[in-house]
Structure 1
């Protein structure tokens, strides 16, 4: 099948998705060897009807973490610190709730989601002051320490926030200026910004919820300045292709932010993690599709805007997807590209022995911003995320419910047998549900 035919079929999929899946707008970018492809469909806002183009800015969410990490690795290459530098040696004013954890916390723990303190924390969406990040970090003394640094990988927005603050302090520059100077400008990502007043003068997508079966713009922005290191970047699919091309192939318009050896080190496993992933790099999320090694990240701004960034270094392929509404479309498009551009298919799922007493895991598991409420329905485990009431009152949309079967190995598997998460018990006896990459303690 010719490349043109494949891309025409992909465009039809995008057009159908915006009609049938309540996705207002979508952009997909593909690095296919020496070629780049951009396809778009739908609108940036259902109110204005402005079409999504290659230059439309989306909130990429947590893919921003890899940008923060790239800047941190830039400073490491310059000799400012290293992976095993203690954080308190760089930030003597840092206070955590657990003095022992405070003394043992290393830079690598921030990069690998293994700092051990609460990872999902509150933000003030009205605070865009120059000291917003520093004042947020000052509040870390109140965060519960769930496990010892380096012992468990649990997705941590707070950890990457602390890393962003650390890089800013060490560099002596505001975080946003540091990222622009070390990553964005050298890669030619001139349409990637952090501030809403920078985005509003460009074509920018609006996050949407679904009401009465139709998408409509959400009443919340979903971002705050202290979120910048872990999720605050606005970017276009064109800029995301430039970013993907650098991390896939090392190509840059200006001086490369980091060398090839460091770039590859970021994509190697540094700590094991629970399903559906295998390991975490610095801080890329690592897994396989079939026999193909996959280096990926994604983003989700309050279920209003979603992103995917997937690299296959051994196959010279990268795929990025940006959307302004909640939908499973992103992973579906990535899978379609892997199958149709490289013939890569998921490995068959393994049969699992059912757990003899699934009722043992029923209960609530706290993520702070929401609770994962686990119930048992007809032999299935149902995980229902319940947002805190104050977030509901602000207009944040609900998170999706997960239905799965519990195996004797305490893994949760979907209807096709693929692992989604697991239940585990820490050395101190604390029970956790590890799902969505987060280890949430039972309450």
Structure 2
């Protein structure tokens, strides 16, 4: 059995150093599941985090939505390459041709081409998801479907609505019946009133004097397909075991092995920050090891990571309740890959080029603007309504060009390409592709 003593020490020490009030880690290695926890669910009501504490997992929910979609494909109720209007005939986009061409596969691979972030409502009504997609004709069509990948929350709302229409029941009910119940994920839920009666973590804002509870939930009901699942690390291990092909209740699961493998295969080549996109897994390669990943971020308050190495039957997930949880998740994953799978951390530094004035400008990502100066420092400017709603911003990101290209890396730690500037047919800078999103240049 793997010795995780040093991982436990790292989790305790780094959570404290990074000001992550609480975290839960799940590992599957050598056919055995391990749960490690640290800290508290809330600094105001300091109950210890356990393996059953619920966290908002954020965008890893997209893989749950996709699993439900692929179940419907297996059942012959959906066509992976079917036009979305076949299932949602009233769908309107800003570009009529794009609306006609858009397919289910485009949505699963983040290649729909329309702006990927849509305004949130404030409803928990059963019609919230249907109402949200009636506004999609206001989303700029950045490029034709299938031309480019740009991370799209809006696309997953459409997939959630397709689940509702095909199943004839609310998204949450359908996903519960198709995915959660068969996999024994009995603690996982979408609704805050169900979570409130169980041990759960709350998000924290980190201030100079330490972490403070953020008195906000995060997503409303229209956002459930893109990031609304609340889950425990034990339930996440059940989910990981299934997608590794090693776990299901009574041998049954929502999809078969061939479909699981199809979801984990590269369907779109990306290059950075991931090597490619599956259906809709985010794919990476490290020292020849294939990684199938996702993760989530709820308002920079609860952050999670989820990593599979299918050829090794390995998984690691980290659930946290403050923004530095992103760093903690990376440290945990890197430790596991190095000490459990023998994959060393990447240490090769990329050669850097000199930035030019042509890159400076404003790039619209929907919910925020990237303001990039001539030194390539990217400043996140949230929309005023998000600031008013208490959404936490992101710190400035000092970037650097990789020599001889438009590729971008972190200036202080240039070990990997994390994005790039994209040019139009005339050779002018048209997009900043960063964090998987294509942000259109507006100045």
TM-score normalised by structure 2 residue count:
0.95
- Preserved CA contact (<8 Å) 2:184 2:235: yes
Note closer, same or farther for the CA distance 1:216–1:263 as it changes in structure 2 (3 Å cut): same
Tell me by how many angstroms 1:222 deviates: 1.1
Q: Which residue of 1 aligns with 2:419?
A: 421
Correspondent of 2:127 among 124, 131, 134: 131
1:34 aligns with 2:42: no
Give the distance between the partners of 2:105 and 2:290, measured in 1 at CA: 22
Note closer, same or farther for the CA distance 1:105–1:250 as it changes in structure 2 (3 Å cut): farther
Tell me by how many angstroms 1:331 deviates: 1.1
Tell me by how many angstroms 1:376 deviates: 3.0
Tell me by how many angstroms 1:283 deviates: 0.1
1:299 aligns with 2:330: no
Note closer, same or farther for the CA distance 1:351–1:20 as it changes in structure 2 (3 Å cut): closer
- Preserved CA contact (<8 Å) 1:274 1:437: no
Give the distance between the partners of 1:399 and 1:416, measured in 2 at CA: 20
Give the distance between the partners of 1:401 and 1:185, measured in 2 at CA: 42
Correspondent of 1:388 among 378, 383, 391: 383
- Preserved CA contact (<8 Å) 1:189 1:239: yes
Q: Which residue of 2 aligns with 1:270?
A: 267
Tell me by how many angstroms 1:349 deviates: 3.2
Provide Cα deviations, 1:192-212, integer angstroms capped at 9, x if missing partner.
000000100110100000123
Give the distance between the partners of 1:430 and 1:169, measured in 2 at CA: 40
Q: Report SS of the residue matched to 1:3.
A: coil
Q: Which residue of 2 aligns with 1:179?
A: 175
Residue correspondence of structure 1 range 4-153 to structure 2 within 5 A: 4=3, 7-124=4-121, 126-153=122-149
Note closer, same or farther for the CA distance 1:213–1:359 as it changes in structure 2 (3 Å cut): farther
Tell me by how many angstroms 1:17 deviates: 2.2
Q: Which residue of 1 aligns with 2:358?
A: 360
Tell me by how many angstroms 1:399 deviates: 1.3
The runs of 5 or more residues in structure 2 that have no matched partner are: none
Tell me by how many angstroms 1:148 deviates: 0.2
Q: Which residue of 2 aligns with 1:3?
A: 2
Correspondent of 1:197 among 193, 206, 215: 193
Identify the range of structure 1 (238-247 vs 209-218) with the bigger mean alpha-carbon deviation.
Answer: 209-218
Q: Which residue of 2 aligns with 1:334?
A: 333
Tell me by how many angstroms 1:427 deviates: 4.5
Correspondent of 2:394 among 399, 413, 428: 399
Q: Which residue of 2 aligns with 1:432?
A: 431
Q: Report SS of the residue matched to 1:149.
A: coil
Tell me by how many angstroms 1:269 deviates: 0.4
- How many matched pairs? 435
Note closer, same or farther for the CA distance 1:67–1:427 as it changes in structure 2 (3 Å cut): farther
Provide Cα deviations, 1:174-224, integer angstroms capped at 9, x if missing partner.
100110000000000000000000100110100000123300111221111
Give the distance between the partners of 2:359 and 2:171, measured in 1 at CA: 42
Provide Cα deviations, 1:131-180, integer angstroms capped at 9, x if missing partner.
00000011112111110000000000000110110111011111001100
TM-score normalised by structure 1 residue count:
0.95
